[in-house]
Structure 1
Amino acid sequence: MRSTMTLKIDMGFDGAGSPASVDLEELLATRLLVQGNSGSGKSHLLRRMLEKSAGQVQQIIIDPEGDFVTLSGPYGHVAIEAVDYSAAEMAHFARRCREHRTSVVLSLEGLEMEGQMRCAAAFLSGLFGAPREHWFPALVVVDEAQIFAPSAGAEVSEEVRRASLGAMTNLMSRGRKRGLAGIIATQRLAKLSQNVAAEASNFLMGRTFLDIDMARAADLLGMERRQAESIRDLARGTFLGLGPAIARRPVVLRIGAVETSARSSSPVLMPLPEAPSLDMRQFLLAGMEELPTPLPAPLPRPQAAASVLEELARLPAKAAPEEQFDPIDADEIMTAALRAITEDDDAAGKTTAVLFQDFQVRCRMLGLRQAPLDLAAFTRRFAAARAGIFEGLEDEWAPALEAGRKVPDDMLGAFLLIARAASENRPCPSDQELAHVYGTSSLGRARRVLSYMEERDIIVARTDLSGRRSITIPALGWTTEPTAP
């Protein structure tokens, strides 16, 4: 039988110099919030906790700066650089982590903020959506949590912000039943979503200077406002702790030493090098004369507009040269670009405006200087592409597009998928197929799309006694074959 001591995380010493620890089993059930300004020792605290609990529980670290990848050496964590993978691959990787109970460090270094949020949302959703048989206990550490759960609108798209915030909320509010114990750390409590912070029952508050952050920290610790000033006076590496896994009353914790270090460290003053005996200006500019200096091309002397017109009039007319190159088929190029976007797994998480820019770039790369589509036309054509319709939009599929004018642009793809199945005498699309075309993984949203269209008499859905569904489009007189439930 394992001793009780193995369930304690040695954190250092308390204010009286006695050993201080955190109850690991209680921490798994009650979650932890760590707060401290830059330089307060917040990352040092997380590293101490991870080192001392390594081998006792699976550890999963979401690391925006790549500081914790050094745990991979002595402690066997698998370090993954997220910049090399897609969001879909991140979700798959998360599910495999849960299945094999492997401790990992997900480094988000090299990604912009929106990329970090998108990756973290996919990874956390993968952890959360693992099968029940893989719900093993794990510490999920999220450093700089205010990035992934902002209290206000961040400088990213609303879709990405909501996905990241929703994943963080799930981790802290519903993760316990799935064995996920959230440990979130932040520099600014005021910038962290209150819904996420409120789910933690344990708190470790380090040095902070802003009044709004001190006030929130004091509220979480149950201190009076006049006592909040003491948070400003905490030494580096010293924290006030409270919670069922730490203590029933606020206590002082002085975090002990760690065995590993971050790849980046705080700047340290060093003596300046001795100046060389030569003149410093000559020393710095040495070798510059060897670099080639390009001469600017002389600008032509401007001519008067009248003389230019007279000169053009005197030039003999030339016959049009014979075609040197094969003509560009704009429609063929646009179709190829649309096929490439629909086959891209990351396209489902992008806004229409971003996809339109991607479409224009792909067209230019294929030789079409400018795609003859505006944003509205692209939206409808891309909806058709998602339904597998790339050609015949002006003739064969014109009636379906006309009938689809009654549905919002984001639902047009689902409508055309139904129309295509009915036209080709194929079974009614499943909820999974409709969800994919709609750009979501939620089957509930796919069903709401059908309900929306049915309420407006755009479609008529029938389900027989055996549970097989077929859909009719009254405006076209088309009906799909029944499909299995």
Structure 2
Amino acid sequence: MKVDIDMGAAAPGKPAMLDLEELLATRLLVQGNSGSGKSHLLRRLLEQSAPWVQQCVIDPEGDFVTLADKFGHIVVDAQRTENELTRIAGRIRQHRVSVVLNLEGLDVEQQMRAAAAFLGGMFDAEREYWYPVLVVVDEAQLFAPAVAGEVSDEARKVSLGAMTNLMCRGRKRGLAGVIATQRLAKLAKNVAAEASNFLMGRTFLDIDMARAADLLGMDRRQAEMFRDLARGHFVALGPAISRRPLPVTIGAVETSARSVSPKLMPLPETTEDTRDLIFTPGPEETRQPVRRAPPPAPTPTADIIAQLSRPQPAPEPPAEPVFAIIDEAERAAGIDAVMHEILEDPDAAFRTDAVLYQDFLVRCRIRRVAGEPVQLSAFRRKLAVARAGVDRETAGGENWATALSLSESLPEDLQGVFLVVAQAAISSAPCPSDATLARTYGSHSPRRARRLLTYFEERNLLVVRTDFHGKRVLAFPDLGCETAPGDPNAPDDAASARDAAE
């Protein structure tokens, strides 16, 4: 059966008709800032459709309880247990009674739990009671928030789940959601996305205007019109209203809300006894006596002197540590020994840091190195320093400390190569060959080693020059030293020593 309800005026002399049967199948979303006329719109919709369909209103402010006087809605006070609300909702669907769930007087979290229990009871009704119900939720952003607020995660989860069931799965169970919100940005997207009909009122924030324009299929440049809408004026779109964006002026209503917009009114005349009216308690007020605890009795001076003159007790001996005290020098020596064992392996240069790190942890357990295991980032740093092969005298110098500081600005995989050439410059050793640098980097490509030196030079860490004999010299401006001339094409010393040993 097709039933059209009159929502107001669409144009001079033309009513704005809403197909109620289509609305039950496609749901409705209303947006508008506070004072734009959302509650007036919902009241008009409820009054016009009351004779044709069962209604359920989720009312956070108690504004819609006045529907009971004229249209016979049952007002359900939400100050009950969740089980009671669930059972009441089931009986409501069974007997097809229009109701208003009054959430007034509850805090936000209690409102969310009560609404979730009530909607859950309507959603879980027996199949034989799946009659059409128009479920109107005012201030829907409270029950389906886009982000977590000050309420608990549990309350938000159950409330959002109930609203999602209403909008996503409610149609097959006869539940048609009509949700109203002040801001689309505050409403969960999976709840808002299920509505196919829209009534957009006055709004001012750019993000809300843009979303409203997108939902109505309007150009972004037309979004500015939402700022100019008067109270009670909306732009409608949807299969139940209009196939094109249609300006609508909501008509008058028969009932009124308990809370109305504030009106200016003059202050009462000030009389001479105003001060007495404020500070003198009325006859109906009961004055509760203020009982204060008596102050403690003062401590005699003799007792204070006696307490001060008492000898201090001897300090207790320090307790035995629960865990064995770690000798840091012994621990450092053990870690250095393990690092030396790893680098003695000729294939270690061509293994990834992750593989070497696992080998390092196993060797530390075998040697029983005390303390917490070294983290991977610290291991990479120790490995880079160990590959440089610096002796104790050089390690204690100022130049080596500067080289370590400079290497921290490089990626972890390049620090070892930089420290190798820096150590050669500090000790005035010949410049390492391309093959040696490639092995330090974990590669067999001499060309890649030359690219690394170019990268260091671009970072102003060193200067590469070639002498008259074609040998390479690396100068470090920050260290004030340079390597001795070295043949860049010379074979890798470590590889040559390994071949000779074999």
TM-score normalised according to structure 1 size: 0.59
Give 1:293 deviation, angstroms: 8.3
C-alpha separation between the residues in 1 aligned to 2:174 and 2:293?
69
2:103 maps to: 108
CA distance 1:292–1:230, shift in 2 (3 Å): closer
Whichever of the two has the greater Rg, that structure is: 2
Go from structure 1 to structure 2 and tell me whether the alpha carbon gap of 1:220 and 1:303 turns closer, same or farther (over 3 Å shift).
Answer: same
2:231 equivalent in structure 1: 236
**Match in the other structure for 1:128:** 123
Matched position secondary structure for 2:71:
coil
Match of 2:33 in 1: 37
Shift of 1:265: 1.4
The alignment status of 1:273 with 2:258, answered yes or no, reads: no
Counterpart residue number, 1:152? 147
The partner residue of 1:246 within 241, 261, 282 is: 241
Aligned to 1:71: 67
Q: Distance in 2 between matches of 1:310 and 1:273?
A: 68
Cα drift, residue 263 of structure 1: 1.4
> Over residues 72-130 of structure 1, what are the superposed CA-to-partner deviations in whole Å (9 max), with x where a residue is unaligned?
111000001111x1111111111111111110000111111111111111111111111
Query: Relative to 1, partners in 2 of residues 1:294 and 1:25: Cα closer, same or farther, differing over 3 Å?
Result: closer
Q: Distance in 1 between matches of 2:160 and 2:217?
A: 26
Alpha-carbon deviation of 1:212?
1.3
Cα deviation for residue 284 of structure 1 reads 3.8
| 4+ residue runs over 3 A deviation | 279-302, 308-311
Deviation of 1:216 after TM superposition, in Å, equals 1.0
CA-CA distance at 1:262 after TM superposition: 1.0
1:227-281 deviation line (CA, Å, top 9, x unaligned) = 11100110000000000001000011111111111111111111111222x2644
TM-aligned CA deviation for residue 302 of structure 1: 3.9
Alpha-carbon distance between aligned partners in 1 of 2:279 and 2:103, rounded to the nearest angstrom: 39
Query: Does structure 1 residue 21 correspond to structure 2 residue 12?
Result: no
Alignment of 1:300-339 (within 5 A): 302-303=298-299, 307=303
The residue correspondences of 1:399-438 to structure 2 (distance < 5 A) are none
Following the alignment from structure 2 to structure 1, what is the Cα–Cα distance between the partners of residues 292 and 100? 52
- Cα distance, 1:303 vs structure 2: 2.8
226-235 vs 157-166, which moves further: 157-166
The alignment status of 1:94 with 2:57, answered yes or no, reads no
Equivalent residue for 2:251, pick from 245, 250, 256:
256
**1:210-237 deviations in whole A, cap 9, x for unaligned?**
1111111111111111111100110000
SS at match of 1:181: strand
* Structure 1 residue matching 2:58: 3-state secondary structure: strand
Are 1:170 and 2:165 matched, yes or no?
Answer: yes
Q: Given the superposition, is the C-alpha separation of residues 288 and 64 from structure 1 closer, same or farther in structure 2, using an over 3 Å criterion?
A: closer
Superposed displacement of residue 153, structure 1: 0.9
The alignment of Structure 1 onto Structure 2 pairs a total of residues equal to: 305
Change (3 A) 1:295 1:160: closer
Q: Which amino acid aligns with 1:244?
A: P
Compared CA separation, residues 132 and 305, structure 1 to 2 (3 A): farther
Q: Of the candidates 187, 201, 208, which is equivalent to residue 192 of structure 1? A: 187
1:15 and 1:251 in contact (8 A); partners too: no
For residues 279-324 of structure 1, what are the alpha-carbon distances to aligned partners after superposition, in whole Å with 9 as ceiling and x for unaligned? 644554456999798697774564367616969xxxxxxxxxxxxx
Q: CA deviation at 1:54?
A: 0.6
Q: Which runs of 5+ in 2 are unaligned?
A: 308-502
Amino acid at match of 1:234: L
Alpha-carbon RMSD across the aligned residues, in angstroms, is 2.4
Q: CA deviation at 1:158?
A: 1.4
Q: Percent identity?
A: 66
Secondary structure of the structure 2 residue equivalent to 1:73:
helix
CA distance in 1, matches of 2:98, 2:155: 26
| 1:39 aligned partner, one-letter code | G
| Pairing partner for 2:114 from 103, 114, 119 | 119
Tell me, yes or no, if structure 1 residue 222 matches structure 2 residue 213. Answer: no
1:60 to 51, 56, 67: 56
**Structure 2 residue aligned with 1:468:** none
* 1:401-448 Cα distance to aligned partner (Å, 9 max, x none): xxxxxxxxxxxxxxxxxxxxxxxxxxxxxxxxxxxxxxxxxxxxxxxx
Alpha carbons 1:33, 1:183 under 8 Å: kept: yes
Relative to 1, partners in 2 of residues 1:128 and 1:286: Cα closer, same or farther, differing over 3 Å?
A: closer
Where structure 1 has 5 or more consecutive residues not aligned to the other structure, the ranges are 312-485
Query: How many Å separate the matches in 2 of 1:89 and 1:288?
Result: 41
- Going from structure 1 to structure 2, the CA distance change for 1:280 and 1:90 (only over 3 Å counts) comes to closer
Match of 1:12 among 8, 15, 32: 8
Q: Please tell me whether the aligned partners of residues 37 and 207 of structure 1 are also in contact (alpha carbons under 8 angstroms).
A: yes
1:176-224 deviations in Å (ceiling 9; x for gaps): 1111100000111100001000000000001011111111111111111
Q: Distance in 2 between matches of 1:54 and 1:244?
A: 21
